[in-house]
Amino acid sequence: MAAGRTVLVRGSAVQVLDVGSGPAVLLLHGSGPGTTGAGSWGATAEALAGSCRLVAPDLAGFGGTPLPPGSRGGRRTWTEQASGLVDALGLDRYVVVGHSMGAAVALSLAVARPSQVAGVVAVSAMGAPGAPLSPDLEAVWAAPPGRDGARDMLSRLLLDPALVGEQAVTARAAAMEAGEAAFEGLFPPPRQRWVDDLALAPAELAGVRAPVLLVHGAQDTVTPLATSVPALLASLPDARLHVLDRCGHAPAVEHPDAFRALLADFLGVEAPPDRRQDGRPS
């Protein structure tokens, strides 16, 4: 996997993982403390790099990308950053894949750039109008840096306790501590307002011209299926839904082979080989 690089976007430095060649895919991460583009999407990008160009930025306030002066983040900031990034990279046609918060930004980008966005894959999506703040999302945003906070957060994101091992906890705790100062100001209480900030109005969703694939875990308690997906399906003109059973908030981590096959099919490229080694169903 190639190392990340810095791209100057409207005067601000954005850390970007940029690998592979072929049709362009912009990968937007979610909102948990310690989240980065490479951490969220690195394995997916590596698997598909033979067929696509995959671009995974750290959104402002996460990883190696600082917030612009005077900004507290939010859907508008992240949408403008994504727009500036594709301009800086010279991308004129691309699919946007977003996880959780990143799904809301992906849909917002599709509204802002209808002639450029060829498709949207919204995974465990935020962005639904009227969605409530779930108790688990509240806890994720409030998770303190350190091993205890990392373990609690991962246990809410991932259904299978086996995925919340010591190596994963150690890595996430380090990322949370590294990003503590920037993340602290992104989602302070009361936190329903940040869910509302990420929500698209029905009229905005109705303006999404691109086809949308919604991918959701049946057991997601962070952005529950029942409070996220119906409003999106009701407003998006061209959407289809794939629900993964035995899956929480992170399909790309919990069922990587099934998720990559879905993504490859949507992109119209060859699916990467199944790399399961432990026999765990994908």
Give the pLDDT means over successive 10-residue stretches in the chain (282 positions).
80 95 97 96 96 97 91 94 97 98 98 98 98 98 97 98 97 95 93 98 98 98 98 98 98 98 96 62 34
Q: Which sequence positions are flagged as catalytic?
A: 100, 220, 249
> Is the pTM here over 0.85, yes or no?
yes
Predicted pLDDT of residue 70: 83
Predicted pLDDT of residue 13: 94
Predicted pLDDT of residue 58: 97
Predicted pLDDT of residue 271: 87
Predicted pLDDT of residue 3: 57
Helix (H), strand (E), coil (C) string for the chain: CCCCEEEEECCEEEEEEEEECCCEEEEECCCCCCCCHHHHHHHHHHHHCCCCEEEEECCCCECCECCCCCCCCCHHHHHHHHHHHHHHHCCCCEEEEEECHHHHHHHHHHHHCCCCEEEEEEECCCCCCCCCCCHHHHHHHHCCCCHHHHHHHHHHHCCCHHHCCHHHHHHHHHHHHHCHHHHCCCCCCCCHHHHHHHCCCHHHHHCCCCCEEEEEECCCCCCCHHHHHHHHHHHCCCEEEEEECCCCCCHHHHCHHHHHHHHHHHHCCCCCCCCCCCCCCC
Predicted pLDDT of residue 281: 36
Domain topology for 5-267 = Rossmann fold (3.40.50)
Predicted pLDDT of residue 59: 97
